[in-house]
């Protein structure tokens, strides 16, 4: 993989210490399992202790060491304590994955302000707290990687998720600012990398747990990718840090289209959310979801949106189309 | 046709009582009948075809009809009561009309309006939204699940209140895939005002039709309410305190529940479908005063209370015209047809539904009224044996015991009833097949109601005519 110079630059994931916020479910959980599977020590943070304990057991079974630290990322003291306990147990922090997020989908005027603020507290300030807790330790070590999980909706906004999209855009800006600041600080800080991951729609319980005041059930908007795919991307970006990584080819296409025809993409996104993200036949009660209280249960990686199956079907169709195009081209040449 | 009218036509529900009043009267004024609820054909063959599959398939068809009637949830924000009001007024010819009826829905009022040549403007219309998320027997969950949509429509229509009506007894097949949201006007609005100002003749009479039926409700938002149950075969009390009969019904329907646990109620309010909300009266009175119209109030305690008066009024009218008044045509729910009632010279008696209270109402009427030579009865099918549905045999016994010459249930597939899904295509051909014909008489005036009541020896204690 890559040149010799690149190989030398690559960070060793095995035996590294990785702190992951939002580790009780979805992308965070898949990421914890992926790092543990590569032999990393993982420090797991989320609000749900039973879920974290379960993830810790799974990580240990996958081959890594694990420490569960129940944490509300909106509380800086709790996040700093998380960093302290990671260092106390494993001696350092090599990777900090900011992934904890809550969602709120609601017509703007129906959105309670306190819920709007809570999303920003968790989804923006939670990341700020993570960076503020991790950076001093990384600077002391002289190295480290901060991975901020954003979303393609941080680039192409969607209706009804104002706070969430704002937060995801803010995360991207936070990453950029931190990168610039670290660059300006000189050679020692330059070894600290900040990277942003922008997933497309991922098959996680996120949609089910979010606050919803639209009156309509929330569905994962196709195409849906697996959380394992994002986890792999995060592990890879830690090995070879890059500014930004988009997960999901259609997400990449969307961002490209947004650069070329921003107005059209904005309209398309609005219609897609209205027709595909929100159910048209399944009403839903108003709920503040897991904004203020964590969801019950032990959590899970997947949300039941068949991301794996859908990816397999997409690949099969793409392969068939490609094969057809190749066959047609050959016939044409004859 | 304007986009608004097209949209309103998509938003109204084809089996709604108010919608069928408007459609039937609009077509009547054009000399047309109400075949197939004015949207489909009247055809015995098609009706028989529709009712020929086995009961399970027919039940699924009723469910499917509900699913087809509901608008997708993303369209709920576009529901505009003013567009629906415009849609209603556009069913009527230019006029001028000497009278108009506005207010509560009633099948008897359809015939009264036809007799007076009066258009009817409904206070309440039904908008059905698609709902595959709730269970008919979980009213609290249904209330919470639909509350955002109920509130949304109420918020977008500040001149209206919105009632989420949830009736797992009578509307069960429909509830499988849709929810009932009834929009009740609290202000006249521009469309009704313009219609009344521009299409009535000078000195015309506005008849305000008020059904005083109230029901237990729960507030879910500003002008947004939830109503569990509706008038029919189950009493209001029984909806809220279920017993053995409901347990048996739920078991027969394969429900996981053996009782209903409706939400706490906070007030009695006008019944969602038939009830009159008096808030609208101020606007009507002001408009009548402004335009020099006479305002008359026709009040009733229950939706069906108007049926005996309208039947007797027709009898009185036919006697004046020298037409035999010995033929009674009992219609149920929205399977009415003012055109054929008058062409046949039949006395119309409207049954709100096919349930025990309607049966009792007809029995009481036939006990009190002068004898009829011919009695014809048509019954609406709602897709299941819900509590209180009266078997055909019992209906037949009643009409046969009261008719002097002939009694018959017409336009009903007796083997399929009450899952006679073709019934809506069969009632009009059945009316048309009856062997009587008369020219449509010239319309009456509201003063004729006074004259009739003056001449009548009969009391209508549950009605008011002021």
DSSP state of A287: B
How far is A164 from B1, CA to CA, in rounded Å? Answer: 42
How far is B358 from B386, CA to CA, in rounded Å? Answer: 14
Judging contacts by C-beta atoms under 8 Å, the chain B residues touching residue A284 are 133, 145, 148
Instruction: Give the number of other CB atoms < 10 A from CB of residue A252.
Output: 15
Tokens of B137: 């027997």
State whether B73 and A283 contact (CB < 8 Å).
yes
Closest CB to B147: pick one of A214, A282, A285. Answer: A285
B374 beta partners = B327, B406
* Widest distance between CA atoms in chain A: 71
Tokens of A328: 């047609």
Contact between residue B135 and residue B142 where contact means Cβ atoms under 8 Å apart: yes
B423-441 pLDDT, tens digit each: 999 999 999 999 989 999 9
- Cβ-based neighbours of B375, under 8 Å, separated by 6 or more: B327, B328, B330, B366, B399, B402, B403, B406, B407, B408
State whether B70 and A281 contact (CB < 8 Å).
yes
How far is B364 from B357, CA to CA, in rounded Å? Answer: 10
Contact between residue B374 and residue B403 where contact means Cβ atoms under 8 Å apart: yes
How far is B359 from B351, CA to CA, in rounded Å? Answer: 8
Closest CB to B74: pick one of A110, A213, A278. Answer: A278
Closest CB to A280: pick one of B72, B145, B148. Answer: B72
Nearest Cα residue in chain A from B144: A285
Q: What is the pLDDT confidence band of residue A4, given thresholds at 50, 70 and 90?
A: low
Active site residue A127: no
Contact between residue B387 and residue B249 where contact means Cβ atoms under 8 Å apart: yes
User: Which residue of A281, A284, A288, A289 to mutate against B (max B Cβ within 10 Å)?
Assistant: A281
State whether A283 and B74 contact (CB < 8 Å).
no
- Cβ-based neighbours of A140, under 8 Å, separated by 6 or more: none
A215-233 pLDDT, tens digit each: 999 999 989 999 999 999 9
Residue A4, classed as helix, strand or coil, is helix
Nearest Cα residue in chain A from B147: A285
The pLDDT, as a whole number, for residue A12 is 85
| Residue A2, pLDDT above cutoff 60 | no
CATH class, range A4-303 = alpha beta
| pTM of the predicted protein model | 0.90
- Cβ-based neighbours of A107, under 8 Å, separated by 6 or more: A160, A213, A214
Residue B343, classed as helix, strand or coil, is helix
Nearest Cα residue in chain B from A271: B74
Question: What end-to-end distance do the CA atoms of chain B give, in Å?
Answer: 39
CA distances to A302, B38, B52, B333 from B61, in Å: 36, 20, 12, 19
Closest CB to B144: pick one of A213, A275, A285. Answer: A285
How far is B425 from B427, CA to CA, in rounded Å? Answer: 6
Instruction: Give the number of other CB atoms < 10 A from CB of residue A28.
Output: 30
Instruction: Give the number of other CB atoms < 10 A from CB of residue B438.
Output: 14
Angle at A329 between CA A324 and CA A331, to 5 degrees: 95
The pLDDT, as a whole number, for residue A19 is 98
Domain spans of chain A, in order of start: 4-303, 306-334
User: Which residue of B146, B148, B152 to mutate against A (max A Cβ within 10 Å)?
Assistant: B148
Rounded to the nearest 10 degrees, how much is the dihedral formed by the CA atoms of B388, B390, B394, B398? 90
Residue A41, classed as helix, strand or coil, is strand
Closest CB to A215: pick one of B130, B141, B149. Answer: B149
Residue B99, classed as helix, strand or coil, is strand
Chain A, chain B: beta-carbon pairs less than 8 Å apart: 58
Nearest Cα residue in chain B from A273: B74
State whether A283 and B146 contact (CB < 8 Å).
yes
Closest CB to A280: pick one of B73, B141, B146. Answer: B73
State whether A286 and B147 contact (CB < 8 Å).
yes
The pLDDT, as a whole number, for residue A8 is 57
A interface with B, Cβ–Cβ below 8 Å: 110, 213-217, 274-275, 278-286
| Residue A7, pLDDT above cutoff 60 | no
Q: What is the pLDDT confidence band of residue A65, given thresholds at 50, 70 and 90?
A: very high
Contact between residue B291 and residue B92 where contact means Cβ atoms under 8 Å apart: no
Q: State how far residue A250 is from chain B, nearest Cα, in angstroms.
A: 25
The pLDDT, as a whole number, for residue A1 is 44
Q: State how far residue B155 is from chain A, nearest Cα, in angstroms.
A: 11
Domain spans of chain B, in order of start: 3-30+65-300, 304-465
DSSP A134-189: HHHHHHHHT-EEEEEE--GGGTS--TT-HHHHHHHHHHHHHHHHHHHHHHHH-HHH
Judging contacts by C-beta atoms under 8 Å, the chain A residues touching residue B181 are none
Ranges of residues in chain B whose predicted pLDDT is under 50:
none
DSSP B361-417: HHHHHHHHSPPEEEEEE-----SS--TTBPPHHHHHHHHHHHEEEEEEE-S--TTTT
A306-317 pLDDT, tens digit each: 766 767 777 777
State whether A283 and B145 contact (CB < 8 Å).
yes
B interface with A, Cβ–Cβ below 8 Å: 67, 70, 72-74, 76, 129-134, 141, 144-149, 151-152, 177, 179
The pLDDT, as a whole number, for residue A318 is 75
Nearest Cα residue in chain A from B177: A281
The pLDDT, as a whole number, for residue B169 is 95
A185-203 pLDDT, tens digit each: 987 778 999 999 999 999 9
What topology is assigned to B304-465 in CATH? Answer: Rossmann fold (3.40.50)
Minimal CA–CA distance to A101: which of A122, A77, A115, A132? A122
The pLDDT, as a whole number, for residue B244 is 93
């Amino acid at each position: 993989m890559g040149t010799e110079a690149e190989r030398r630059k690559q960070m060793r994931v095995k035996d590294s210490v990785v702190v992951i916020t939002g580790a009780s479910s979805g992308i965070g959980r898949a990421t914890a399992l992926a790092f543990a599977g590569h032999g990393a020590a993982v420090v797991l943070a989320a609000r749900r202790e039973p879920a974290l304990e379960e993830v810790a057991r799974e990580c240990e079974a996958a081959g890594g060491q694990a420490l569960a630290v129940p944490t509300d990322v909106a509380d800086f003291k709790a996040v700093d304590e998380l960093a302290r306990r990671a260092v106390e147990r494993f001696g350092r922090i090599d990777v900090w994955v900011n992934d904890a997020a809550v969602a709120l989908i609601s017509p703007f005027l129906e959105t309670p302000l306190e819920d709007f603020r809570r999303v920003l507290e968790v989804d923006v300030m939670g990341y700020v707290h993570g960076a503020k807790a991790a950076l001093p330790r990384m600077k002391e070590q002289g190295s480290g990687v901060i991975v901020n999980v954003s979303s393609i909706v941080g680039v192409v906004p969607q209706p009804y998720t104002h706070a969430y999209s704002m937060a995801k855009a803010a995360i991207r800006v936070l990453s950029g600012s931190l990168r610039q600041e670290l660059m300006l600080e000189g050679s020692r800080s330059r070894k600290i990398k900040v990277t942003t991951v922008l997933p497309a729609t991922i098959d996680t319980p996120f949609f089910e747990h979010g606050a919803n005041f639209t009156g309509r059930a929330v569905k994962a908007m196709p195409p849906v990718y697996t959380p394992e795919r994002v986890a792999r991307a995060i592990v890879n970006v830690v090995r070879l840090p890059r500014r930004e990584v988009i997960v999901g080819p259609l997400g990449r296409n969307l961002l490209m289209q947004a650069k070329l025809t921003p107005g059209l993409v904005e309209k398309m996104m609005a219609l897609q959310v209205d027709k595909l993200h929100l159910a048209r036949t399944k009403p839903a009660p108003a709920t503040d979801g897991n904004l203020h209280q964590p969801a019950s249960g032990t959590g899970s990686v997947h949300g039941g949106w068949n991301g794996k199956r859908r990816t397999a079907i997409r690949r099969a169709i793409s392969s068939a189309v490609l094969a057809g195009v190749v066959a047609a081209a050959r016939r044409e040449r004859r | 046709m304007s986009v608004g009218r097209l949209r309103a036509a998509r938003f109204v529900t084809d089996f709604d009582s108010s919608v069928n009043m408007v459609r039937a009267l609009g077509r009547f004024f054009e000399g047309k009948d109400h075949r197939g609820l004015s949207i489909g054909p009247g055809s015995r063959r098609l009706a028989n075809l529709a009712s020929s599959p086995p009961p399970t398939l027919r039940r699924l068809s009723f469910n499917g009809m509900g699913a087809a009637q509901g608008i997708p949830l993303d369209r709920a924000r576009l529901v505009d009561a003013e567009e629906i009001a415009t849609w209603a007024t556009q069913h009527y010819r230019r006029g001028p009309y000497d009278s108009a009826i506005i207010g509560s829905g009633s099948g008897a009022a359809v015939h009264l309006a036809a007799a007076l040549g009066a258009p009817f403007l409904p206070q309440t219309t039904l908008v059905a939204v698609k709902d595959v998320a709730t269970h008919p027997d979980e009213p609290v969950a249904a209330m919470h699940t639909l509350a955002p949509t109920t509130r949304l429509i109420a918020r977008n229509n500040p001149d209206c209140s919105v009632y989420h009506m949830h009736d797992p007894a009578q509307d069960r097949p429909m509830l499988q895939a849709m929810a009932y949201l009834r929009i009740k006007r609290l202000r006249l609005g521009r469309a009704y005002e313009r219609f009344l100002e521009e299409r009535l003749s000078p000195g015309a009479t506005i008849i305000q039709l008020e059904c005083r039926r109230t029901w237990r409700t729960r507030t879910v938002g500003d002008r947004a309410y939830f109503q569990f149950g509706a008038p029919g075969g189950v009493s209001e009390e029984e909806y809220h305190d279920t017993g053995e009969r409901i347990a048996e019904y739920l078991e027969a329907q394969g429900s996981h529940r053996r009782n209903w646990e409706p939400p706490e109620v906070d007030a009695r309010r006008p019944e969602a479908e038939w009830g009159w909300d008096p808030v609208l009266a101020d606007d009507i009175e002001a408009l009548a005063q402004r335009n020099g119209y006479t305002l008359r109030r026709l009040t009733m305690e229950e939706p069906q209370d108007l049926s005996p008066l309208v039947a007797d009024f027709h009898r009185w009218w036919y006697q004046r015209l020298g037409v035999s008044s010995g033929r009674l045509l009992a219609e149920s729910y929205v399977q009415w047809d003012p055109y054929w009632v008058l062409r046949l010279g039949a006395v119309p008696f409207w049954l709100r539904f096919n349930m025990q209270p309607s049966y009792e109402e007809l029995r009481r009427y036939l006990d009190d009224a002068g004898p009829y030579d011919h009695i014809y009865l048509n019954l609406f099918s709602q897709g299941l044996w819900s509590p209180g549905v009266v078997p055909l045999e019992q209906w037949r016994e009643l009409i046969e015991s009261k008719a002097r010459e002939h009694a018959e249930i017409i336009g009903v597939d007796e083997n399929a009833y009450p899952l006679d899904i073709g019934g809506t295509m069969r009632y009009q051909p059945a009316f048309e097949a009856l062997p009587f014909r008369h020219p449509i008489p010239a319309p009456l005036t509201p003063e004729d109601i006074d004259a009739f009541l003056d001449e009548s020896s009969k009391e209508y204690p549950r009605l008011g005519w002021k």
